[in-house]
Amino acid sequence: MTTATLEDRERRRAWGFVAPALIWTFAFFVVPFLYMAAMSLWSRQGREIVRVWNLDNYARFFTESALLKSLTNSLEITLTVTVLSVLLAYPLAWIIAERVPKRWQRMALILAILPFWTSYVVRSYSWLLVLSKGGVINQALLGIGLISEPLEIASNRTATVIGFVHFFVMLLTLTIYSNLIQLSPNYRRAAADLGANGFQTFWHVVLPLTLPGIMTGAFLTFVLCIGDYITPQILGGNNELVLPQIIMLQIGRRADFPMAAALSIILMLAVTAAYLLCARWLKIERA
Amino acid sequence: MTRSIAAAAARRFFRTTTALASIAFLAGPAVAAEEFNALVWCDHTDPALIEPFEKANDVKVNLKEYEGTGAGISILEQSRPGDWDVMVIDAVDVHRVIEMGLLGEMPADALPSADLFPELRMEANNTKDGKTYAVTEKFGYNTISYDKTKVDPKDMEDLTVIWSDKYKGRIALYDYYLPMIGLVQLGLGGKTADLSEADMPAIEEKLAAMKAASKQVSDVVSSQTALATGEVDILVGGGEWITASLAKDKPDLDWVVPKQGAVRWAQSIAVMKDSSKPELALKFVQYILSPEGQARLATSSCYWGMPANMKAGEHLAPEQKLALRWDDQTGYLKNTQLYPVPSAELDQKMQDAWTNMMQQ
């Protein structure tokens, strides 16, 4: 009896602690999400929003090439950015964790994330100036005679990818670094004792053990990149549109909130698919 | 020049933030005796324009900036009656807001209509059933801006240059489908007012050619930056509102109305029907339309444009008139046409055509 009362009290206390977060999540995530999902089934006809449920918006997305292409553009750019960012961030994180003396590691990390301190918009516009015809890169290459005509690296996908990679390398460096420094040196000693060379130790021991850090960073990169509007808008030159830009067009120009909601649901599904892929893969590796 | 653009962008950002913060804290203590709220385009957020009115009337004007009629109507749809006292809107879209029942009638005799350029009185747009709901305050052209040291100015007098290969990769397209499709219609020899679904296939074909010849499709800031930094040499859809404010630092930038004509934009100002301060709102409208207010609005830091009031010329410096091509207005007004005013269905087709063009 007493035990049951204590358990009840503990349970009530636990619910008391959890309730604010649950109410918050329900009010500001679940309810808006359900409303958005319902709205995605409405439609804009002329200048009116018709509140009759149908799948017209989704059908339109899969039949209009310009809309569908925004998803493929988003996926292509996001995957390119994620892969490039991992390839660049891993060696950087490894050098900071393994080669930089302990007392300098904090300073190295601060330097690595220094660009985070600048406004995202300002940083994107800065890249536009750096990559433009008269920008630093083209002027330097022209100056040393490596090229005779300025490279077309602004206002296109290359510029968007560069802007993204610059940002996400910092993020991935942090997640991979935090994983690397937690790795006991005993693993590498054991591998060496068993006759593994440096590469074999890295490939069979270090890399698998740091995969959780890589996948966490890669997933964050995927989520933030596929949902980003600013970088493609500023650096892409509108030469191809990604999904968030198409969503903004529905809201800003057409006031077509149902279509924007449908596109947002599709974006969420893409993120969910990425999460399921990462989670499943990580689970297999851990097993 | 890049610095000046960046500084202007920073000033705009600061002013917008300030305006939004002001609206967010409407319930807070007010320094001025009265306040009212105006839904405006960015040119109205220039303190040089607003402060003289605020000081003269001991009033605080809370400004919220928007871009594009769709966005403005979205804001109105999400607002409560009385939230806004004054609104600036594209002149060709005034009737959309009248039909929503949101604009109040203004006494015609309280407005200086006789002082406006005749083409800018626009009774068909600003009035309904003989009642005045809005008045034109500023106008300009969506046409061709260019760097006269990089291109042949003679070429810019022919609108078909925008889909030719002569300047391939050196052209930026202004990212606003309405005036751009209007320009194509003019280039094809049609009238913007007659634009119908039947014209769309030919327009889409030219849009595709324009995209192939262009380097980028960009908003105001990016277009202006691209032209000023030499990233592109031609901006299709530009005009005095892009180059005039840069004239001092970039004298090589110019604009012209081609022989086929150009699209004329015009913005109107209106008092909202549910305004709780209609007298003050009307007073603001009268200030904006006064010669002094008009000169300040014409040379706003956000973008320049021609004042609708002919008497504003008395308050403009000679170099400002030159940048605005004040003396060419008679010919330009005759050779330009208003934005197309599509039905909802045609509007959707035009937007689809524009989106398809960008995705090519």
Q: B282: pLDDT confidence band, cut at 50, 70 and 90?
A: very high
Residues B220 and B274 in one domain: no
Distance CA B354, CA B200 (A): 11
Q: Which of B207, B232, B118, B192 is nearest to B340 (CA)?
A: B192
pLDDT in tens, B90-132: 999 999 999 999 999 999 999 999 999 999 999 999 999 999 9
SS3 B61: strand
Q: What residues of chain B lie within 8 A of the CB of A67, using their CB? A: 355
Which of chain A's residues have a Cβ under 8 Å away from the Cβ of B349?
none
Give the CA count within 13 Å in the CB-facing half-sphere of B33.
Answer: 7
Is A197 a residue whose pLDDT tops 80? yes
Distance CA B106, CA B214 (A): 45
- Asked whether the predicted pLDDT for residue A139 surpasses 80, the reply is yes
Q: Provide mean pLDDT across the span A84-101.
A: 95
Q: For residue range B31-61, list pLDDT tens digits in order.
A: 577 899 999 999 999 999 999 999 999 999 9
pLDDT digits (tens, 9 = 90+) for B297-340: 999 998 999 999 999 999 999 999 998 999 999 999 999 999 99
Longest dimension (CA), chain B: 60
Q: Say how many CA atoms lie within 13 Å of B346 toward its Cβ.
A: 18
Confidence of residue A47 (pLDDT cuts 50, 70, 90): confident
Q: CA A150, CA A153: separation in Å to the nearest integer?
A: 9
Q: Tell me the average pLDDT of chain B.
A: 90
**Distance (Å, whole) CA B280 – CA B270:** 12
What distance in Å separates the CA atoms of residue A188 and residue B214, rounded to the nearest whole number? 56
Q: What is the pLDDT of residue B2?
A: 38
pLDDT at B285: 98
Contact by Cβ (8 Å): B226, B218: yes
Q: Which is it for the CA torsion A105, A108, A110, A113, positive or negative?
A: negative
Interchain CB distance below 8 Å, B229 and A134: yes
What is the rounded average pLDDT for all residues in chain A? 91
Q: Which residues on adjacent β-strands are paired with residue B145?
A: B235, B255
| Averaged pLDDT, B282-303 | 96
All domains in chain A, ordered by first residue: 70-286 (1.10.3720.10)
Question: How many other C-beta atoms are found inside a 10 Å radius of the C-beta of residue B330?
Answer: 10
pLDDT of residue B5: 43
**Helix boundaries (H) for chain A:** 2-25, 31-39, 56-63, 65-94, 102-112, 120-131, 136-143, 157-180, 185-193, 198-201, 207-226, 230-235, 243-252, 257-286
pLDDT of residue B29: 46
Decide if B234 contacts B242 (C-beta within 8 A).
no
DSSP annotation string for B256-272? E--TT-EEEEEEEEEEB
In CATH, what number is assigned to the domain containing residue B180? 3.40.190.10
pLDDT, mean of residues A229-238? 92
Residues B230 and B346 in one domain: yes
**Tokens standing for residue A181:** 């420094």
Whether residue A46 is predicted with pLDDT greater than 80 in this model: the reply is no
Instruction: Tell me if residue A49 falls in helix, strand or coil.
Output: strand
CA angle B83, B89, B94 (to 5 degrees): 100
User: Which residue in B71, B226, B343 is closest to A252 by CB distance?
Assistant: B71
**Cα separation, B360 vs A252, whole angstroms:** 21
B44 shares a domain with B99: yes
Mutate to test the interface with B, among A122, A153, A158, A253 (most CBs of B within 10 A): A253
Please report residues of A whose CB lies closer than 8 A to that of B169.
152
pTM of the model as a whole: 0.80
Statement to judge: residues B231 and B214 lie in one domain: yes
- Predicted confidence band at B224 (pLDDT cuts at 50, 70, 90)? confident
Q: Which residue from B minimizes the CA distance to A257?
A: B74
- B253 by DSSP, 3-state: which? strand
In angstroms, the CA B250 to CA B147 distance is 9
User: Do B97 and B186 have their domain in common?
Assistant: no
- On whether both B271 and B258 belong to a single domain, the answer is no
Please indicate, yes or no, whether residues B124 and B192 belong to a single structural domain of this protein: no
Of all residues in chain B, the percent with pLDDT exceeding 90 is 76
pLDDT at B162: 95
Contact A269, A47 (CB under 8 A): no
Q: Examine the domain organization and report whether B238 and B348 are in the same domain.
A: yes
In contact, B333 and B119? CB cutoff 8 Å: yes
Average confidence (pLDDT) over A190-201: 93
- Selected residue with higher pLDDT from A239 and B8: A239
Residues 6+ apart with CB under 8 A from B31: B60
CB within 8 Å: A134 and B358: no
The DSSP secondary-structure symbol of B106 reads B
- The more confidently predicted of residues B267 and B18 is B267
Please tell me whether residues B66 and B24 are part of one structural domain. Answer: yes
Do residue B215 and residue A237 have CB atoms under 8 angstroms apart?
Answer: yes
Residue B279 and residue B310 in one domain = yes
Distance from CA of A128 to the nearest CA of B (A): 9
Each residue of A140-159: pLDDT tens digit?
Answer: 999 999 999 999 898 999 99
Among chain A residues, the shortest Cα distance to B210 is held by: A239
Q: How far is CA B83 from CA B23, B36, B38, B77, B79, in A?
A: 10, 9, 9, 11, 6
C-alpha–C-alpha distance, residues B255 and B315, integer Å: 23
pLDDT tens for A203-216 read 999 999 999 889 98
Backbone angles phi, psi at A40, to 5 degrees: -65, -15
Would you list the DSSP string of B183-235? HHHHHTT--GGG--GGGHHHHHHHHHHHHHHEEEEE-HHHHHHHHHHTS-SEE
Q: What is the pLDDT of residue B15?
A: 57
Alpha-carbon span A97 to A176, nearest angstrom: 9
Q: Which residue segment(s) compose the domain that B221 sits in?
A: 142-263+335-358
pLDDT surpassing 60 at residue B20: no
Yes or no, beta carbons of B68 and A253 under 8 Å apart: yes
Rounded CA-CA distance B215/A258 in Å is 32
CB spacing of A255 vs B77 below 8 angstroms: yes
Q: Which residues of B275-297 are buried (b: 16+ CB within 10 A; e: fewer)?
A: bebbebbbbbbbbbbbbebbbbb
* Whole-number pLDDT of residue B208: 97
Residue-level pLDDT at B353: 96
User: Identity (one letter) of the amino acid at B279?
Assistant: E
Residues B293 and B200 in one domain: no
Q: What is the ipTM of this complex?
A: 0.80
Q: Check: CB of residue B90 under 8 Å from CB of residue B274.
A: no
User: What's the pLDDT score for residue B3?
Assistant: 38
Nearest by Cα to B91 from B177, B178, B29:
B178
- Least Cα distance to B125 among B308, B293, B306 occurs for B308
Assess whether B218 and B349 both reside in one domain. Answer: yes
Look at chain B and report how many structural domains it folds into.
Answer: 2
